[in-house]
Structure 1
């Protein structure tokens, strides 16, 4: 009876995953090439708006190993004013920032006890400062573009070109850039994070562009200030540990949808340690759970379409779905292992071999499919290729990387149930040049 119950649970989770993955693949393979110009920054405007002013916020807390290189990259874009907010760092982050001498670099500092209250508070703090600048300098709010870049990030060389192409149209409001990991991989875990962001999440974002459900990432988001202030307010970011998706929900509830940039991207540092990886993902899962507070408003909303609601529901249900699916796999595997003799002893050797081969092939199928798309993406964008050994191991890693995320899900539910909402900081090492 127990096996039947957990098989049913696993079947439902598998069906939802397969349906979502298949639709994402179809949009990526068929719709996107045909509608390339619909995506943010791919348009060719009649004239670039020379009055656009860009303010890029960089939150900083103990980022001495990476912050200087990140700010140097941003200052290479001559239209950017960079607002870096040090959130009471205990290392020499401020000393690293102070080595850069540029009138376009603004250092803001928060001090304990007002610091360490979450990324949303840091971003709102910076936005207050930006509003003061544009009022003092009499800059038009509808010409002011605000971006958010992580302290370990770097924008692709064509980023400003694509941003100008997008925001030169006065009808555009918000865009999210594609995300990629730095290509100097030290281990397979970093490669798996790259394929997750650069190809798998990319497919999902393409589908969401058609359904108007694109989600913001914490890195590489840009928006026009005027509609945000008018519809959300002076402090748009909230206190959820997944501040980016919380802001996405707020925007959608006020008829502001996010566009997606496919052909420029923001690099960020992939984690090398499974322990840090689990901690980071537990924060993301818990942030997803924090966003459940918006569920009543989403259900009652007359503004959101059915498709948009389904997209949000799918995102919010993922932690629960993943938890049940992983639990079902653990239980069914345990039952199969403890009852191996009674289940398989009477099968002919050839039949048993076929069954095992079928199970292995099924488990690796999506790893092979996503691996092919990832290989194509690296080739198309002239990114460094993988070695033959890495390519051979790729399907296995893709298919089973989410096994270790079961621990992050447990950690997230535990903290969420105990109302522990403190920020779990992801530590960054020094970037390779």
Structure 2
């Protein structure tokens, strides 16, 4: 237990230091690159038109490639209508049985189409593929920040991950027509997701930037085309740089790029916005998939530890990330075990057990509280950097909520472990807030 809390505190301290001492970079020249933004879509009629309009406004020089993963709604028609108005909008059409088998397979289809579309004379080192969620919106000036001198402005940089924020974090009525309690819970859930990405995760990524182990996300990653090309030379991966049938194809692709010798970095000067989930059920479904995908990454352990491209600090950081859900599951299993041992002790050795609990129980509880209190810092840091107009008391409240919010990791890690034991490794799309019912029948990979 001491080791678990110790490793958490070391990681937290490193993230906090990196977050507090981040130095912004000057933007680069987007005209030096050719930009292709890829938007994977599956039954996204609720958001796709708004997304295309927003991306065109934020990145007028970019080509927009929408991957329709055999949608059963009007997604395809909406994209074709947009393509009629804008020659820089392209449709990548996928059909079952090759569709709906995971985001990695969809991204690989776009990679092949973009490669075929480019002229043979194209300088592929100057072609950048960005991945944006179907509800994603880039801030103006994003492309300039992605190619700044510390990011793609360096020729050894293979990929860049930008920050993520929840654009509905200030929505006062996320559930119109519902009561105060339901809306209060939804507001808190979205706010915690925003704090998580803009403070906690930002600190983690800045720490990773120092250790050389930056992770890529499913929304807001930008990859140099030659970096993707380098992954396709591996046996069995022709035309498939992204891992297929992986639950965390984004993070795994970052591992593959780093193992291939490419530098990855994180840019905090710009963000991609997305919808924060307002449903606890959908949130837990999404995070269970993430935790299960994290556990799948354990198969990279040997390659990372043997790689000359990871520093010792980078290897330690990757191992921390790999083992986080595993440690959560072990702690969940240890709780009933420790209670059972205590109960047995009270029956068999009542005096000695009671004396032990009175002597050491309060110290153990105090250690647990002190070990988790640092999570409160992220609420205060979020207020200072994102909402300086809010009171310090509000920041403290957000910090306490972050501390409580972090316990969802134990729930989703346990669910993920159970799914793996049952052989349930399928990928299921997280429904948007605007979707009232599930569109289409489940596929073989959904569960």
Scaled to the shorter chain, the TM-score interval is 0.7 to 0.9
Deviation track 1:322-357 (CA, whole Å, cap 9, x = no partner) reads 11234445665788899899859x98xxxx9x9899
Distance in 1, matches of 2:391 and 2:341, equals: 38
1:375 matched to 2:357? The reply is no
Higher relative contact order (CA 8 A, sep 6+): 1
Pairing partner for 1:176 from 148, 161, 180: 161
Equivalence for 1:212: 212
Equivalence for 2:106: 122
Secondary structure class of the residue paired with 2:119: helix
How do residues 5-404 of structure 1 correspond to structure 2 at under 5 angstroms? Answer: 10-30=1-21, 32=22, 36=23, 42-43=25-26, 48=29, 50-76=31-57, 77-100=59-82, 101-135=85-119, 138-165=121-148, 166-182=151-167, 183-185=169-171, 186=174, 187-233=187-233, 234-239=239-244, 240-329=246-335, 362=370, 365-379=373-387, 391=395, 393-404=397-408
Residue 66 of structure 1 contacts residue 429 of structure 1 at CA under 8 Å; is this kept in 2? no
Deviation track 1:237-269 (CA, whole Å, cap 9, x = no partner) reads 113200111111111111112111011011111
1:79, CA displacement in angstroms? 1.2
1:321, CA displacement in angstroms? 1.0
- RMSD (Å), alpha carbons: 3.1
Equivalence for 2:440: none
Which structure 2 residue ranges, 5 or more long, are not aligned?
175-186, 234-238, 436-447
1:169, CA displacement in angstroms? 4.6
Residue 175 of structure 1 contacts residue 259 of structure 1 at CA under 8 Å; is this kept in 2? yes
1:392, CA displacement in angstroms? 5.5
Distance 1:334 1:373, change over 3 A: farther
Residue 86 of structure 1 contacts residue 110 of structure 1 at CA under 8 Å; is this kept in 2? yes
Distance in 1, matches of 2:341 and 2:374, equals: 25
Distance in 2, matches of 1:172 and 1:391, equals: 36
1:98, CA displacement in angstroms? 3.3
Which structure 1 residue ranges, 5 or more long, are not aligned?
1-9
1:224, CA displacement in angstroms? 1.3
Distance in 1, matches of 2:354 and 2:16, equals: 36
Distance 1:329 1:23, change over 3 A: farther
1:21, CA displacement in angstroms? 0.5
Higher mean C-alpha deviation, range 291-300 or range 215-224: 291-300
Distance 1:28 1:51, change over 3 A: closer
Deviation track 1:377-425 (CA, whole Å, cap 9, x = no partner) reads 2136xxxx66898646423321121323323212211222233221121
1:116, CA displacement in angstroms? 0.8
Residue 75 of structure 1 contacts residue 104 of structure 1 at CA under 8 Å; is this kept in 2? no
Distance in 2, matches of 1:363 and 1:397, equals: 16
Distance 1:336 1:66, change over 3 A: farther
Equivalence for 2:433: 429
Residue 367 of structure 1 contacts residue 394 of structure 1 at CA under 8 Å; is this kept in 2? no
Distance 1:25 1:60, change over 3 A: same
